[in-house]
């Protein structure tokens, strides 16, 4: 059965359970610092530049969701610090609330599936995916904003421009081979425990995608159309009221950067490269994301 929010993970040791005395009734826990730090029952595991920040900010509007703001990078970079360190990063939750975090690099980290599964086999996983070609360009655009002197997108894409051989070792290309990464997760988790969110639909129909996410997490459908307005300048939906605020809230300046113009022939080459992987991904997930 899926783990109930607030249950200790099936795999958590006695020491951990002792370290987290039960908060007791909601009222008593309200007075003693409102709640208990728990290991996350749900994690947004990917993908980089897919729309994970938007999803997290939208989800935080829900009163039963408590999430870490920063990316903990526990299951990829900080694993040796141990679960107690990880748990300490979590916000306090009351009975019935879900603890969440997001670290998009988990999806492409070899060790992450086994590590998350050993924390708790019941962890719910969410992957925000986006057209791998636009994702790669977005990834490149982010790097370019930090290091303006990097080579062109075109030159990084090909091992050899004349033969048109694509350099799959470049992380911007590698991350978008979703079918390959997903196979690794399916060795440790049933497909039904992973929700795939369309990064495109998160923009065109945020309430619809959030409906699916709330259902998946077993939450009441509280986040609806009423929460969003479309900001034409940013080209993004924004929240009418952000978590803990009465002011409207759009994602920060680094979100929605304009992409550089990429040679159409290169884009076409990439489309052809990704197509078979995309088709396999659609088959594996039972969802057609319409990237072609």
Q: Could you list the active site residues?
A: 49
53 labelled binding-site residue:
yes
258 labelled binding-site residue:
yes
Picking from 231, 210, 228, the residue whose alpha carbon sits closest to that of residue 220 is 210
50 labelled binding-site residue:
yes
221 labelled binding-site residue:
no
51 labelled binding-site residue:
yes
Residue 233 has which token pair?
A: 């300048």
Strand partners, 197: 128
13 labelled binding-site residue:
no
Residue 81 has which token pair?
A: 């610090």
Name residue, tokens 């007791």. Answer: 24
257 labelled binding-site residue:
yes
224 labelled binding-site residue:
no
256 labelled binding-site residue:
yes
How far apart, in whole angstroms, are the C-alpha atoms of residue 244 and residue 41? 22
Known binding-site positions: 49-53, 130, 138, 255-259
Known binding-site positions for 3'-phosphoadenylyl sulfate: 49-53, 130, 138, 255-259
């Amino acid at each position: 059965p899926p783990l109930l929010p607030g249950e200790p993970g099936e795999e958590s040791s006695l020491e951990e359970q002792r370290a987290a005395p039960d908060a007791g009734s909601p009222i008593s826990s309200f007075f003693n610092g409102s709640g208990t730090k728990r290991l996350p029952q749900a994690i947004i595991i990917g993908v980089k530049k897919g729309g994970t920040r938007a999803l997290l900010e939208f989800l935080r509007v829900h009163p039963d969701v408590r999430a870490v703001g920063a990316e903990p990078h526990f299951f990829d970079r900080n694993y040796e610090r141990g679960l107690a360190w990880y748990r300490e990063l979590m916000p306090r939750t009351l009975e019935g609330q879900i603890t969440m975090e997001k670290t998009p690099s988990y999806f492409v980290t070899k060790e992450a599936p086994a590590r998350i599964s050993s924390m708790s086999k019941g962890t719910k996983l969410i992957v925000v995916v986006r057209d791998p070609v636009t994702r790669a360009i977005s990834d490149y655009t982010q790097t370019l904003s930090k290091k303006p002197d990097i080579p062109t997108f075109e030159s990084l894409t090909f091992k050899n421009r004349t033969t048109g051989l694509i350099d799959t070792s470049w992380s911007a290309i590698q991350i978008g081979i979703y079918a390959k990464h997903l196979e690794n997760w399916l060795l440790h988790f049933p497909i039904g425990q992973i929700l795939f969110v369309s990064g495109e639909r998160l923009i065109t129909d945020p309430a619809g995608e959030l409906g699916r996410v709330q259902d998946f997490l077993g939450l009441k459908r509280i986040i609806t159309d009423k929460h969003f307005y479309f900001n034409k300048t940013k080209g993004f939906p924004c929240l009418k009221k952000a978590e803990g605020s009465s002011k409207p809230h759009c994602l920060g300046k680094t979100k929605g950067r304009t992409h550089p113009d990429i040679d159409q022939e290169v884009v076409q080459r990439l489309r052809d490269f990704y197509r078979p992987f995309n088709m396999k991904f659609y088959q594996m997930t039972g969802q057609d994301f319409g990237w072609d």
